[in-house]
Amino acid sequence: MAAARQGKRWDSAEEDILLDELRGENTLQEIAARHRRSPGGICARLEKLLKPEQEFPSQEALFAWARSELRKGHDGLAGWAVDRATAAPDRGHPVLGTFMGLDMTAQDDREGRTPARVRSNTLTRRDEVVAMWSAATAAHSGHQAQAPTSRAELDVLATVEDTRLHEAASAVLRCRGELNLARWVLECDWPDVESLRLTAEQILTEDEDVQRIGQELLLAGLGKSSTRDREIMRMRLGFTGEAATLDAIALRFDLSRERIRQIQNKVLERARVKPTRVRRCWHHVHDTLLAALRTAGRAELDAALVLSFVELVAPLAPREVAVTLVARLCGLGAEDCRSVVAAVQEYYANRERHRKQQLQEEKKRGRLTTKVQQILDKADWPPGHTLPAGGQASPLRPPIESNRRSNPGQWISDRLGRAIGYDSEAELRVIQMLEFADDLVASYCEQPIRLSYTLYGNRHDYYPDLLVDLRDGRRLLLEVKARIDEFALYENVVKFDAATQFCRTLGWGFAAITPRGETPADLAARPVAEHIEHVLHQHLGLGPTDWRRLYPLVIEHGIRYSDIATLVLRHSWYWHKHPFRLSTTPLEGNRRWKPLA
């Protein structure tokens, strides 16, 4: 029986059935018999569909891998296939690949014409979407309205699974009062994408919401890429907590470093936004970034705005990668992208020369001494005046090539006569401040010690950023954060507590600061409107929340990230960003990573 269909061409319907069966309990031989194909034929089709990046010693090993990936759902490398396996059997027709950027019809017609079977299924699905539109509109307004006829939008919506369509329709009706097809498409692409707005003024003033909005914009702009490729770019850009090297990402996905580099380049190439008949989420990203990153009356991107945007949104990412992605999402071609990268690098070099001159001028006027003294005054010092004992500090930083962060740098210190390593622009700013404040600072050293702390029962190590020897004989340990709201993240609260206790035993001082000299005490002292505090208290009274649940309240009440961070410190809440979780009690075990019920 298995040989009866050998050599027969696979159609989309049979592929849908295969993907759905794969998540069950049937063996490879049972599935092969059901399809009347050989086990080798089944595995060959799985390889073509799922495109594994590794070789397997046997058919059974390939089959086991494919089953494992589909059962992982969207956390697996074949997330798009989960959509297809979930939706297609219920609808009785293949899910076309427009939304996920896949061409599922090419194998059915080598001359490029859409097969009659697919055309029929598309028409059927389009009718289903129209019926869903009519039902949602009638339920909201209480009367029937004329059904939409825009074929382009309907064809896009026909590729989206029902649950997502219902959620998007409800969101559009709630916000707009009518179910416009164009906005329905945008909401399906990326929830609330139209609320993501950005201006040049926000970037230049380093508005606290630029990072959140910017990250959402860049991720929405990558909507054409697969689930796996978007996750790789999230790690590369530092949206998962730290920007990872190509080697670290390769280890995570069990691929080669070269393969990760190829995927990165492919994503950057596909990110270029071009005009189409239907407005998608990446078109909104394109318009928003262009409006924010161009000087008024100029057609080209402003290098200063692009650099500031990248440093605010992806401070740990490789600058060239982040700038290229932004340029691609603005619709630029390869040559124009290289020009933007070069302009940004030139502007950065000029800015650094100007900043060094500015620091020397501040030193002459005594302003730099005042800034450093303010940091010393805010630090946590042990009681008494016993001067700490200790020898010459030396860096314990791992070699740069093995560091998981992908945007380290070195700055040549004239005082110390060597290169000082740093992980971020924020650290560099503080290093430069210490370099020129020689009337208070005798010496300093980057990442000189390793501290241990316990988070949810697991032991972790980390290297505090700087150890400062002062002229009066005291020692100060510094942890530098780019943004003030980072002080409230639970991981940092635990780190800072461990560092404070460690320093007290040695007679050292400890301070967590931003380049502006802000500390956790400054964050906790920020004013927050009473109604915002009341709203968050009520919301958290229902249990832990994620960003999707909290976002409607953020929009309705004008809640800012700094408001959340301030209340977290005041009330000792538990806040994580990757993924976003906020609760009044610890998220023990795996609850932090699992979707909230």
* Amino acid making up residue 217: L
Give the confidence band of 346 by pLDDT, cuts at 50, 70, 90: very high
Across 405-465, the runs of DSSP E, i.e. the strands, are 409-413, 418-422, 441-446, 451-455, 458-462
**What are the strands of the beta sheet with 475-480, ordered from one edge?**
441-446, 466-470, 475-480, 509-513
Please write down the HEC assignment for all residues of 58-108.
Answer: CHHHHHHHHHHHHHCHHHCCCHHHHHHHHHHHHHCCCCCCCCCCCCCCHHH
- What is this structure's pTM? 0.70
pLDDT of residue 185: 92
Residue 75 has pLDDT above 90, yes or no: no
Count of Cβ atoms closer than 10 Å to residue 54 Cβ = 12
- Orientation of helix 227-237 relative to helix 246-253, angle to 10°: 140
Residue 331: closest CA among 281, 270, 277, 279: 270
Pull the structure tokens for residue 23: 């998540």
pLDDT of residue 370: 87
Pull the structure tokens for residue 442: 């005798």
Pull the structure tokens for residue 237: 């850009």
Per-residue pLDDT tens over the stretch 418-441: 888 888 888 888 998 998 888 899
Pull the structure tokens for residue 98: 């427009």
196: three-class secondary structure by DSSP: coil
**CB within 8 A of 126, min separation 6: which ones?**
151, 154, 155, 158
Per-residue pLDDT tens over the stretch 57-70: 788 888 888 888 77
Pull the structure tokens for residue 171: 């969101």
Identify whether the C-beta of residue 204 lies closer than 8 Å to the C-beta of residue 308. Answer: yes
Pull the structure tokens for residue 399: 């070699």
Per-residue pLDDT tens over the stretch 534-579: 999 999 999 999 888 898 888 889 898 889 999 999 999 999 887 7
pLDDT of residue 423: 80
Per-residue pLDDT tens over the stretch 203-255: 999 888 898 899 999 999 998 888 889 889 999 998 877 667 888 888 888 88
Please write down the HEC assignment for all residues of 339-392.
Answer: HHHHHHHHHHHHHHHHHHHHHHHHHHHCHHHHHHHHHHHHCECCCCCCCCCCCC
Count of Cβ atoms closer than 10 Å to residue 401 Cβ = 8
Residue 406: closest CA among 212, 597, 520, 257: 257
Residue 330 has pLDDT above 90, yes or no: yes
Give the confidence band of 104 by pLDDT, cuts at 50, 70, 90: very low
